[in-house]
Structures are given as C-alpha cells and as structure tokens.
Structure 1
C-alpha cells in the first residue's frame, strides 16, 4: 500500500490483510476498521489510528501533570485529563516512614495543587498508579496551567525536543509538558 497515512472516521476500512490491530481499530475478518476520527498509520505488521481529539489514555512511564481532587487516608486522587483517576500513594510523598495515623496528607498536597508525575503502573482494569519518586517530579509550586489536546503534544514537543527548546529559548520560560495534554508554563 503506497499511502500509509490517511484521515479516517469510525467505520472506515483502514486496510485488509495480515496486520496486527493496535490502537483505535478493530479486526473484522481480514479487514481492519477504524473506531475513531484520526490519522491511520500502517507499519510493517501493525495498524493503528492516532485520534485527532479525545481523552488521554495512560501509558506506563508517561510524564503527566495532575491536579489533586481528593485524598483518602493512604493516597491522593489526581485528575489527569483522562477517563481514569490517578492514584498517588502517600508513601511515595512522605517516604518509608509514612504512618496513616501520624501524618496528615494535606500538609504535603491540598485539593487543587498541581503535580508533575509519572505513570508507574496501569492496565485498563484499574486506575493508574502514579509516582513522583524521580528527578524533577513532585508538587508544582508556580506557573500557569494550559490545556491542549493530548493528540497535539507530540507537535508541541517537536522532533527530538526541538520545538519546545525553541519556545523555551524565545520566551525565557520553563515549560513542563504532560503527555496528558496539560502544560505548565
């Protein structure tokens, strides 16, 4: 097939043949059909559709920006611009010596606080587990939140990070981009 990328809508035939269906496509016999509006990509042995709009679907090791929405005695719940709610364990923030009886979770993070984090574990049967135990992760103390479509994040970053470097140099601002489409400037 010469044209490997094309715009598709739900129900469009993307291709036929011995391909492995990946994201946003279904296999019907030997036909691969789109389930969303987007751009189809056909590789050597697989087919997927990159959605033009929609919510963020978490992937392990993705950097995300989350907003604290509530907490339990052992964790915080974060809005990560997804149909899933992210869970940040208190032990990740307080460290090994965390005690649910002695430590007050609101002393570290309150509702509305922004957090730069990574998806530590995720499968579609339960909400993603989020971690901040890495360099440059944790509570975001200053900056403005800008929301873009998650499908536009690769365009904002650019090839090998060139676009974001150019923007940071031109504006003299530090920019944190979450794969979930939330950007802190």
Structure 2
C-alpha cells in the first residue's frame, strides 16, 4: 500500500529526483501536499488525495468527448489539460478529414478507455486507444473519485476491485484519473458496486475500509 504523507513530511534521503508535489530541502525530499508517495524510475512524486489528475505517460484513463476538430477529438480527462485523441488513431492511416466524419465514431459525451501516449507539460497530452481493451465504452455508469484514491479501489494485487466485481457480477473500468465506469446487467449489482466504490471514496486510507466495503456489498438495492 502506498505511503500517505502530509506537507513537510520527509519522504527519502536517497539520491532521487523531485517530481510532482515534492521539494528538495538540503539532501532530503519532502512532500508539499497531502497524498500518496509514488516512485517511478529515479523520480519520487506525491499523488494528491484531492484535486485534479496530473497526466503521466502510459497511465490508463477514462475520458469524455467534449469537442472535436477536423483532425482530433478533445477529451475531458479530469485534468488541468485537455486530452487529444487523433482521428488517425481511430480511423487508421487512411483517414481523410474531407471524407470521414469524426462523430460517426465518437460523439459528444461518449466515454473512452485510453492511455496517455505523451505528455511533457508544454502542451496538452496526447491520448491513444491503440492497445488491447481500449476504445469507446458502450455501456455503464460513470463514478468519479479522487485520483489519489484509485490505488485503494484497486487494492493490493487487485484484491479490492476483484472482490467488488465478484460480489456484484459487475465489470469495472478504472482510470488513473479517478473516473470509474461501472457496468452490470443487474440493477441490484450495479447499485451495490457503485455503493462500494463510494465507500472507498469516502474512507480510503482509513482503518476498517474492507469492512465498510463488505457492508456496502451485503446490502441489497434500495
């Protein structure tokens, strides 16, 4: 389970680079936010427990189509930036803006499961669906949680999300940006799965979380 830190907490004195929400004080990396410690290669960052998602390359995200140009869709990915999904990523290399209508593939309000292909803070992130199990999400309800609580929803080695899906027969798509799509053939299963996700949103990183989730799953639809 990732370590929770407060502003001013020492993260490490190891020789690593300071990433998002981390500052170097002398020879010590210190947190500047309330969040979870994340280590990637030689960089240490803190993922805030509240606020907007900060894109990172290779992250799985759930995005919503909010506009389009003749060459790309613009996606809301719960970030300070708009995600751009190129038309060639969906239509293929034979895409022609004068002949292919983007709304025939993705319309306003559509949800997609995608990955952040590239992001360097100098421009809006490039989004891709060119991978297995990515693309338009045809069914389900969108539930929003804080990006910093995604790890609690997944659980250690996927234990939490597996428990929810098994108990409800729901299929749950989790974006690192905190957007979660819950799909279930049963109205009761859908309600219980959404209730469990909400329980994690309200009590992530606190004691007794699994008990609260089990309680949410045990209650029938009401």
> What TM-score, normalized by structure 2, do the two folds share?
0.72
Deviations 1:103-152 (A, max 9, x none): 11111111111011111111111111111111111111110000000001
User: Greater helix share, 1 or 2?
Assistant: 2
3-state DSSP class of the match of 2:109?
coil
Q: Name the structure 2 match of 1:66.
A: 63
Partners of 1:53 and 1:151 within 8 A in 2: yes
Residue 47 of structure 1: how far off its partner (Å): 5.1
What is the aligned-residue RMSD (CA, Å)?
A: 2.3
Pairs aligned (count): 178
1:172 aligns with 2:169: yes
Q: Name the structure 2 match of 1:136.
A: 133
Q: 1:145 to 1:46 in 2, by over 3 A?
A: closer
Q: Which runs of 5+ in 1 are unaligned?
A: none
Mapped to 2, the partners of 1:66 and 1:88 lie a distance apart of 10
Partners of 1:17 and 1:31 within 8 A in 2: yes
Deviations 1:22-78 (A, max 9, x none): 331112444544322235689xx8754342212111111111000000000000000
User: Greater strand share, 1 or 2?
Assistant: 1
Partners of 1:13 and 1:31 within 8 A in 2: no
Mapped to 2, the partners of 1:110 and 1:41 lie a distance apart of 35
Q: Name the structure 2 match of 1:83.
A: 80
Mapped to 1, the partners of 2:22 and 2:141 lie a distance apart of 36
Residue 13 of structure 1: how far off its partner (Å): 5.4
Q: 1:142 to 1:36 in 2, by over 3 A?
A: same
